Structure 1
Amino acid sequence: MNDPKLIYVTLIRTTPARLWEALTNPDFIQQYWFGRRNTSSWKEGEVIESRSPEGELEWHGKILKSVPETEVVFSFDDLEYPEPPSTVTFRIEALGTGTMPQGQAVQLTVIHDDFPAESKVREGVMNGWPAILSSLKSLLETGKSLELGWKGDG
Structure 2
Amino acid sequence: MSSEKRTESSAAGDSTFVYVTFIRTTPQALWEALTRREFTERYWFGMHHECDWQTGSPWSLRFADGRIADSGAVVESDPPKKLVLRWRNMFLHELNAEGDSFCTIEIEPVEHAVKLTITHRVARPGSKFIEKVSGGWPRIVSNLKTLLETGEVLMPLVVMAD
Q: Please confirm whether the aligned pair reaches a TM-score higher than 0.5, indicating the same fold.
A: yes
| 1:46 alignment partner in structure 2 | 57
| 2:126 alignment partner in structure 1 | 118
Contact 1:84-1:116 within 8 A present in 2 as well: no
Q: Distance in 1 between matches of 2:20 and 2:115?
A: 7
| 1:86 alignment partner in structure 2 | 101
Q: Distance in 1 between matches of 2:103 and 2:138?
A: 14
Contact 2:15-2:124 within 8 A present in 1 as well: no
* Unaligned runs of at least 5 residues, structure 2: 1-11
Q: Distance in 2 between matches of 1:69 and 1:45?
A: 17
Amino acid of the residue matched to residue 44 of structure 2? Answer: W
Q: How high is the TM-score relative to the length of structure 1?
A: 0.89
Identity %, equivalent residues? 38
- RMSD (CA atoms): 1.3
Q: How high is the TM-score relative to the length of structure 2?
A: 0.85
| 1:32 alignment partner in structure 2 | 43
Q: Which moved more, 1:112-121 or 1:82-91?
A: 112-121
State the Cα distance separating 1:3 from its structure 2 match.
Answer: 4.1
Q: Does 1:106 align with 2:114?
A: yes
State the Cα distance separating 1:132 from its structure 2 match.
Answer: 0.5
More strand by share: 2
Secondary structure (helix, strand or coil) at the match of 2:33 reads: helix
Secondary structure (helix, strand or coil) at the match of 1:151 reads: coil
Q: Distance in 1 between matches of 2:19 and 2:126?
A: 20
Q: Does 1:131 align with 2:142?
A: no
Which ranges of 4 or more aligned residues in structure 1 deviate by more than 2 Å? 1-4
